Amino acid sequence: MTSFSDYLRPGAKGHLIGIGGVSMSPLAEVLSGMGLVIRGSDMNESDKVLSLRRKGIEVCIGHDAANIAPDAEFVVRTAAVHDDNVEIVEAHRRGIPVFERTQAWGTLMRDYKNAICIAGTHGKTTTTSMSTHILMAADRDPTVMIGGTLPLLKAGHRVGNGDTIILEACEYYNSFLSFSPTVAVILNIEEDHLDFFKDLEDIKRSFRRFAELVPADRGCVVANIDDKNTMDALAGINRRVMTFGLSPEADVHAENITSNGDQSEFDVYYKGEFFQHIGLQVPGVHNVKNALAATAAAICVGISPNSVKYGLAGFTGAGRRFVFKGKYNGADVYDDYAHHPGELKALFDAVEPLGYKRIIAVFQPHTYTRTKALFGDFVEQLRRPNLTYLAEIYAAREKNTLGISSSDLAREIPNSLYFPTFDELEKSLRWTASPGDLILTIGAGNVYTVGEHIVAKNK
């Protein structure tokens, strides 16, 4: 059976399907930089596609069997490309081995001294971004793959020449089990992706298997001591574990936390000794915890306290994580990617102390299965804003076989309004917005366009 490592040699010819994707485009760059001859295909033109072409990587738009060159030796596909894709069918017909994107990244990680993989139900993008800031401040020249845009990089990825790679590690379809971490970070474990996992215990088993990918003789598992599910999943594991959290029992913990608007300050202690004073430019206790996780990962790879301090000081947020969009009729408009009840709780916990007259949430649920499985938890959190606007569920990869709608949520949430279209929602939002309000567009779909539209109309 062939392994992806068999093709990591100069001159090997590969074809990447979905090459413009958030983790496929940096993969193409890394492979090309190693001397492989890479080409690929994508459904649409994009900035990433144009950037790849500028680097000499040929990209075809649209999927066609003819896109795979006669001398192609291997194919890598993104998770959205299935076996009925014409290029996959052609690769199989010709006997060309097809690898998953995560298999490729997992193999590449083995060439790095430090491979930091950040997993968890919530906080992966923010913590990966914070860790990137720290590694950049330490001049480690890292290779980075983030599931969102980081202003520091002006992109969601970076191809470096250092000995460290840092990536988000998603549990969906057990993708992270293809990785090869030397530092495996687990931020938290909650019920999610129940269209794949059987239940919470099934999810916990996968996270334990992820942690066990860390070599027993080196490396480290970084774990949230305040999260019972995480600690249960790791009970008795034969790996070095470094805990983080607000509990003074954690190896890395915070003391003297103070908040001023959307900023926080705190002292980090490592194994009972003062490590560094940290200032954050993002709000909320959840971001203090994310910073502690990033700090623990940094300690695992030998980063100095000053690099942690200056790296975190420069972090102002990742793309679609509490991003200020502008003002409309005196109201502040922010956007956030939260699409799970746990993320909603962290977001509302962060913004409620900020002193706004009203909090108006514009929420677009993400997938029918998640909305159905976590219905009661969504209702509990969406009751917290002064007013909740509900857009229809964003289907993503699903079909509505459950017969569920955002209107079902609206019936259970006081002070909520359901709108079947964005046009109707925006019209009502423009009418109700007033000075002193905080308007939050929330969700993993295209709800961010609502905030962008009303801010544009204010100009």
Catalytic entry in 125, 126, 127, 367:
125
Q: What share of the chain is helix, strand, coil (3-state, %, to 5)?
A: 35, 25, 40
Pairing of strands 220-224, 183-186: parallel
Cβ contact 227:206 at 8 Å: no
Q: Is 352 a catalytic residue?
A: no
Q: How far apart are CA 381 and CA 361, in angstroms?
A: 11
Beta strand 183-186 with 114-119: parallel, antiparallel or unpaired?
parallel
pLDDT for position 459? 61
Burial degree of 318 (CB within 10 A; 0-12, 13-18, 19+)? buried
- Look at residue 148 and give its three-state secondary structure: strand
Measured CA to CA, the distance from residue 389 to residue 417 in angstroms comes to 5
| DSSP line for 16-70 | EETTTSTTHHHHHHHHHHTT-EEEEEESS--HHHHHHHHTT-EEEES--GGGS-T
Task: Confirm whether 432 is a catalytic residue.
Answer: no
Residue 145's nearest CA partner among 104, 105, 177, 98 is 105
Measured CA to CA, the distance from residue 387 to residue 413 in angstroms comes to 10
- Which domains, and CATH codes, for the chain? 4-100 (3.40.50.720), 112-313 (3.40.1190.10), 323-457 (3.90.190.20)
Do residues 38 and 28 lie in contact, with contact meaning Cβ atoms separated by under 8 Å?
Answer: yes
Is the distance from CB of 286 to CB of 123 less than 8 angstroms?
yes
Q: What is the predicted pLDDT for the residue at 194?
A: 81
Q: Write the DSSP assignment of 250-273 as a string of letters.
A: SSEEEEEEEEETTEEEEEEEETTE
- Whole-number pLDDT of residue 33: 86
Q: Active site residue: 48, 107, 124, 295, which one?
A: 124
For the chain (459 residues), the mean pLDDT of every run of 10, in chain order, is: 90 96 86 93 90 94 96 92 94 96 92 96 93 96 85 82 93 89 97 88 96 95 98 97 98 95 93 97 92 98 97 86 90 93 92 94 95 96 97 90 96 96 96 96 93 85
Catalytic residue, candidates 29, 90, 168, 426: 168
Q: Give the pLDDT confidence score for residue 104 in this predicted structure.
A: 93
Is 424 one of the annotated active-site residues of the chain? Answer: no
Pairing of the two strands 58-61 and 37-42: parallel
